[in-house]
Structure 1
Amino acid sequence: MKNLKLFVLLLSVGLMSYSCKNDDDGGSSSGSGVVIYGDTEIQLKSGVIMDYGEYMDGIYNFDITLVDTQVRTVDGYPFPTEDVFSGVYFELFTSNVSDLQVGTYSFGSADAGGYEYAEVYINATIEQDEGISINSGSFSVLDNGSSYELEFEGTTSDGTAFSGSFSGPLRAYDFSDEFGRPAEEGASKPRLFFR
């Protein structure tokens, strides 16, 4: 896991702060969709898009998380509203500085139009959020902006096929200034949702 210790620290601080203050902006991130993982069907209710800024020259990193629960904001960071959640996560790369470009992103590359890291989550918790790694597939952005239309499919590391779609707004988070840009060789960022 990338930077798990930093995530645990951020989560602990977030949860302690939440007990004192919840700065949820109340904005809606409700949408609809589905993930089919083998014989399991997950009804998606909301999602987030996290802007991590420039990954390397002209390549920008946006992470998408889609879950079967609503999402709340605690001290500027996204958290699921339910203790147990399921969904999908994709770390995507684009040449567009402001949003994911419409088009299909292929697994196996950190170049524009690709992704190297993604996971499926089945009955995960913040404390135990082990996902099932995705090792092939595609992620399509059919529409972006105030509302997104997304489709995805592939295979996980355990050989299980998955597919799905999502339509609706995504709650946006800008972390582009928090982790430095461009990324240093071999550098990784903490995942603030699911990690």
Structure 2
Amino acid sequence: MKNLKLLILLVSISLVSFSCGSDDDNDSGSNSGSGVLVYGDTEIQLKAGTIENYGEYSNGLYNFDIVLISSEISNTSGEPEAVDETFSGVYFELFTNNAADLAEGTYSFGDIIEINSYTYANVIIDSTLDNFNEFEINSGTFTVLDDGSSYEFEFEGTVSNGTSFSGYYEGSLASYDYSSELDRSATADSRKTRRLFNR
């Protein structure tokens, strides 16, 4: 994987601080939509999300991160930030062969980083910036049904404590381009911490 920043949207505490190249590069635009996350017996409404472009991971393999949460998202100094003090949601680090956007198709959890895969993802439940409550996903799929100006996703699987989750999201995403900033020297086991959960 790589080092990420612990989101104000979703997940781990960052030792690396990324600065944005310019406001134009990270003009987030609209990020509203509708969806649901079902975690065990709990149903959570999803309101907004981000798509983060981390560029080419290796030859012909590109990394896009998706964050979907139960809060609206504001753009604060070029960075995404959850509006609500408490939020829940999901985070997926996805790999595609499309340099321009997350390609349509089904992405499966596994140990190998390859096209249409993810090796790291989290479910976040009732978290605040000071008390982050995350569960690592260890099986499942993330399906991109539509991409472009509006997205449609479906996802399902289980987390490390054995709880199942599923859900969907339809709507726009705030777009952030970090492709020129990622330190690719990080080991595969190190974690990017999601930007939306850090100030």
Give TM-score, length-normalised by structure 1: 0.84
| Number of equivalences | 180
For structure 2, the 5+ residue unaligned runs are: 5-12, 20-25
Superposed CA RMSD: 2.3
**Which AA in structure 1 matches 2:41?**
D
Taking the aligned partners of 2:186 and 2:32, their CA distance within structure 1 comes to: 37
Is this contact kept in 1: 2:53–2:65, CA < 8 A? yes
Q: Following superposition of structure 1 onto structure 2, how do residues 29-68 of structure 1 map, counting pairs within 5 Å?
A: 29-68=31-70
- Max radius of gyration: which structure? 1
- Render the CA deviation track for 1:128-148: whole Å, top value 9, x for unaligned: 223100000000000000000
Secondary structure in structure 1 of the residue aligned to 2:103: coil
Q: State the 1:193 CA deviation.
A: 2.0
Aligned position for 2:156: 153
**1:126 offset after TM fit, Å?**
1.7
Tell me the residue number matched to 2:128: 125
CA distance in 1, matches of 2:143, 2:57: 20
Between Structure 1 and Structure 2, the one with more helix by share is: 1
What's 1:167 paired with?
170
Instruction: Indicate the residue corresponding to 1:20 in structure 2.
Output: none
Which of the numbers 3, 6, 9 marks the counterpart of 2:15? 6
Partners of 2:71 and 2:155 lie apart in 1 by 19
Q: Shift in Å at residue 27 of structure 1? A: 3.6
2:93 is the alignment partner of 1:91: yes
What letter corresponds to residue 6 of structure 1 in structure 2? L
Structure with higher RCO (Cα < 8 A, 6+ apart): 2
Distance 2:83 2:55 in 1: 26
1:192 Cα offset (Å): 1.2
User: Post-superposition shift, 1:125?
Assistant: 1.1
Cα pair 2:27 2:176 within 8 Å, conserved: no
Aligned equivalents of 1:31 and 1:95: distance in 2?
Answer: 26
Instruction: Within 5 Å, give how 1:71-82 maps onto structure 2.
Output: 71-82=73-84
Give the superposition deviation at 1:29: 1.3
User: How far has the Cα of 1:75 moved from its partner?
Assistant: 1.6
User: Normalising by structure 2, what TM-score?
Assistant: 0.83
1:186 aligns with 187
Shift of 1:170: 0.6
